[in-house]
Amino acid sequence: MNRRKFLQHSAQLAAGIGLTGLAGQALFGCQKSNSSADVQSAATSGAASPLFKISLAEWSLHKTIFAGKLDNLDFARTAKNDYGIEAIEFVNQFFKDKAKNLDYLRELKTRAEGEGVRMLLIMCDGEGQLGDPDSQKRTQAVENHYKWADAAKFLGCHSIRVNAASVGSFEEQQKLAADGLARLTAYGAKLDLNVIVENHGGLSSNGAWLSGVMKMVNQPRCGTLPDFGNFCMKYADKGCVEEYDRYKGVQELMPFAKAVSAKSHNFDSNGDETQKDYKRLMQIVLAAGYRGYVGIEYEGNVLSEADGIRATKKLLEKVREELAKG
């Protein structure tokens, strides 16, 4: 089950939590959040630096976590010790009632830093539609995300990843989503934090639509998280019935990218992803000047989560080596 489908069948998280004091407390004794320039040029410190670095999205281990075999507090240790990955991307579903729990966040931060693992972002779901046509619900959705922005700031993340869901015509949804995003981005900017949108179903999986939203918002702290696999705009009982061209979509979203998600499902005997040309996709990513982290997000059902993560990492490393050679 992918994250989009899981959300459709899950109860919505409790709404209505207002501003917190976490952001203010995070300014004392915590690492500084990364600037946009730092995110975009994470691997430009020398000739020996890799073309891009590899991070791990927590959703890759959602079955393990839901089964109670891994706790969110131990995610950083698992990423480092089991997979040799030193940068992670949290999912709010795995600590949805802890956004304002300073003791919990401090422990999460302490464990990650103890492992030498960098916390990059929090993927936020279930907090309402930022493009809701009802102005009150849209405002509530914006404010529901404040606590996650505060938490991300405290942890030292550079971004929160949000969704741009809406209802209406192509143009109406653009305007509504841009309004919600602009207001949330204004809050994030006060924290030196980015608000980034993933292509994640509906019109958000249309690269032209989402890039248009970015142009409407027109704020440096608002960007995208292009996902290699999330270009299905309409599902039916038999699966995807309307899909956007993934290569075109990634190219349209990369000018605004502050993170990248290397979604994977299945692999052939050569270790290549069966549905996506990773080399072609990474050529598009690098051509846009992106040199930040590329996050592993395995969602396959053939390999175990552990083997799927390792297969995706191996493929990214192979592609990186090939592209480095020219």
Q: Where are the domains of the chain?
A: 50-324
Closest among 265, 272, 276 to 300, alpha carbons compared: 265
| Four-residue CA torsion sign, 317, 322, 325, 326 | negative
Q: What is the pTM of this model?
A: 0.87
pLDDT, tens digit (0-9, with 9 covering 90-100), for 129-175: 999 999 999 999 999 999 999 999 999 999 999 999 999 999 999 99
What span, in angstroms and rounded, lies between the C-alpha atoms of 246 and 258? 18
Note the pLDDT of residue 9. 44
What span, in angstroms and rounded, lies between the C-alpha atoms of 21 and 23? 6
Question: What's the rounded mean pLDDT across residues 60-75?
Answer: 98
DSSP state of 218: -
Identify the residue whose tokens are 């690098």. Answer: 286
Assign 16 a pLDDT band (cuts: 50, 70, 90).
very low
pLDDT, tens digit (0-9, with 9 covering 90-100), for 245-300: 999 999 999 999 999 999 999 999 999 999 999 999 999 999 999 999 999 999 99
What span, in angstroms and rounded, lies between the C-alpha atoms of 136 and 16? 11
What span, in angstroms and rounded, lies between the C-alpha atoms of 130 and 135? 10
What span, in angstroms and rounded, lies between the C-alpha atoms of 317 and 321? 6
Report which residue type is found at 182: A
pLDDT, tens digit (0-9, with 9 covering 90-100), for 204-251: 999 999 999 999 999 999 999 999 999 999 888 878 899 999 999 999
What span, in angstroms and rounded, lies between the C-alpha atoms of 130 and 109? 28
Q: Inform me whether the pLDDT recorded for 89 exceeds 50.
A: yes
What span, in angstroms and rounded, lies between the C-alpha atoms of 226 and 258? 9
Contact 150, 30 (CB under 8 A): no
Task: State percent of the chain over pLDDT 90.
Answer: 82
Note the pLDDT of residue 237. 84
Q: Which residues pair with 118 in a beta bridge?
A: 87
What span, in angstroms and rounded, lies between the C-alpha atoms of 272 and 258? 25
- Whether domain 50-324 has CATH 2.60.90.10: the reply is no
HSE toward the beta carbon, residue 253, CA cutoff 13 A: 32
Note the pLDDT of residue 3. 54
Closest among 53, 19, 38 to 192, alpha carbons compared: 38
Assign 58 a pLDDT band (cuts: 50, 70, 90).
very high
For residue 35, CA distances in Å to 55, 132, 162, 277 come to 18, 29, 18, 31
Structure tokens that stand for 312 in this block: 């995706």
